[in-house]
Amino acid sequence: MSIWDRKKPSFGFISTRFSGLDGVSLETGKWADMLTSKGCSVYFMAGMLDTDPAISHLASKAFFKHEEIVKVQRAIFVEKKRTPEVSRRIQELKEELKAEIRKFHKKFGFEILVVQNALAIPVNIPLGLAITEFIIETGIPTIAHHHDFFWERERFYSPIATDYLRAAFPPVHPKIQHVVINSIAGQKFGSYTGSTWTLIPNVVDFKVLPPEIDNFNRDLRKEIGLDEDSLLVLQPTRVISRKGIETAAELVKRLDHPKASLVISHKAGDEGQDYLMRIEEFVKLIDVDLKIIADRISLKRGIDKNGKKIYTLWDVYQHADLVTYPSAYEGYGNAFVEAIYFRKPIVINRYSIFVADIEPKGFDVISFDNYITKQTINKINELLGNPERIAQMAEKNYMLGWRYLSYEMLEEKIEQLLINYYGS
């Protein structure tokens, strides 16, 4: 008998935000979908939410862009000046957030806490400290799902933050089970904390076939300024430097297609506008058509205030002819998993996690090492001219995705975590 037949525990998810198209929000949604499909109740707390209000608790200071959080974070990681006032304010904010977590728990009475990245990357130090103390004080069983660690981001190295990082990013406690999204992060996590970890990569529900072009999204190409015979090269990422958008632009420039366009689905993100301006200047310099369509993409279809259609990211995937993924670094790669799901050909840089965790599984992609070569371009042109080869590639990748990156895999992994709490 499966543990799902004996137990239907309720889960409370906490993070800085559950909103938009960032990887943490997307993966949290997938976990929640899988858990509700097993009959479990799920609840959410964050500083920004687009989840159902009936099962949500908004705590504004949990958001990393709240003005009071920004102020203390800047003192710690930018100014690197920790005065008694800064330390005192961090403790006050911690207590306020811990009170919010108590309210969240009292309101919904969930049995298992799931912390999504808030105990890994210190974008909100008071929140991480508050969650850690809540776990210690209540002894609540906790799954800490880590997407990015502070040691993976240079901006989080600060000599005056050592005590906070050791205490809560991540914390070590018998009630906390740690989940990482790639094996390299797991090994570094183990070395840093001495704790065990479980690997759960990003997932998609492969048993549900991807949607096809329909009456709503049929006009997407026209709406974003492309012709029906344009080559839509999709980069389904944010506009930040580690995503390697210059490489994608170069690739589009060198393709043997007179109407190739680079389409980027996400906005610049949380790391400023300088890189976005650099990309806009770069594509003008090399004469590449760039469409950044973040203002037309949301979690749900609709019509904006100007009467323009709002599409989902999945609508864009359906129209893509090729997906580029030239990132220098990824925690795992949501875009890779989604492209596999939509049966699209992928051109990918062999970033470290791809080499360690994805490539050995046998996925059929066009890969390169750090920069595009003439051989890479030749392979892409040959592929795009061979629909039968694309179909074979897509089928193989889809079946491998179902085996390694599916909800069924996620279900098995979480079941084992529950067995660790409840017994077999």
Mean pLDDT by 10 residues, the chain (424 residues): 81 95 90 95 97 97 97 96 96 98 98 98 98 98 96 91 96 97 95 95 93 94 94 92 91 92 83 81 94 91 92 95 91 87 96 93 95 95 95 96 95 94 80
Closest CA relative to residue 34, chosen from 4, 1, 2: 4
User: How many domains does the chain divide into?
Assistant: 2
Residues 14-38: tens digit of each pLDDT: 999 999 878 899 999 999 999 999 9
Per-residue model confidence (pLDDT) at position 271 = 56
On whether residue 175 sits in a domain, the answer given is yes
Per-residue model confidence (pLDDT) at position 424 = 66
What's the CATH code of the domain at 305? 3.40.50.2000
- Domain identity same for 51 and 20: yes
Q: Which amino acid is it at 293?
A: I
- Domain identity same for 7 and 57: yes
- Domain identity same for 245 and 389: yes
- Domain identity same for 97 and 165: yes
Domain hosting 179: range is 3-203+407-422
Per-residue model confidence (pLDDT) at position 331 = 76
Residue 203: count other Cβ atoms within 10 Å of its Cβ: 26
Contact 310, 219 (CB under 8 A): no
On whether residue 192 sits in a domain, the answer given is yes
Per-residue model confidence (pLDDT) at position 269 = 61
Per-residue model confidence (pLDDT) at position 154 = 87
- Domain identity same for 127 and 168: yes
Backbone angles phi, psi at 421, to 5 degrees: -85, -45
- Domain identity same for 305 and 237: yes
Per-residue model confidence (pLDDT) at position 290 = 94
Backbone angles phi, psi at 349, to 5 degrees: -75, 140
Task: Note if the bond before 210 is cis, omega within 30 degrees.
Answer: no
- Domain identity same for 164 and 71: yes
On whether residue 209 sits in a domain, the answer given is no
Per-residue model confidence (pLDDT) at position 238 = 85
Per-residue model confidence (pLDDT) at position 61 = 98
On whether residue 325 sits in a domain, the answer given is yes
| Alpha-carbon torsion (84, 86, 87, 92), positive or negative | positive
Closest CA relative to residue 147, chosen from 367, 353, 351, 363: 353
Rounded to whole angstroms, the Cα distance separating 421 from 45 reads: 23
Alpha carbon 258 to its chain's center: 33
Per-residue model confidence (pLDDT) at position 7 = 81
Residues 343-387: tens digit of each pLDDT: 999 999 999 999 999 999 999 999 999 999 999 999 999 999 999
On whether residue 360 sits in a domain, the answer given is yes
> Which H or E run contains 91?
helix 84-108
Q: Which residues pair with 367 in a beta bridge?
A: 348
- Domain identity same for 267 and 185: no
DSSP string over 169-209: SS---TTEEEEESSHHHHHHHHHHH----EE----B-TTSP
On whether residue 212 sits in a domain, the answer given is no
On whether residue 316 sits in a domain, the answer given is yes
On whether residue 214 sits in a domain, the answer given is no
- Domain identity same for 47 and 188: yes
- Domain identity same for 239 and 120: no
Residues 321-336: tens digit of each pLDDT: 999 999 988 878 788 9
Residues 195-215: tens digit of each pLDDT: 999 999 999 999 999 999 999
- Domain identity same for 90 and 64: yes
- Domain identity same for 397 and 413: no
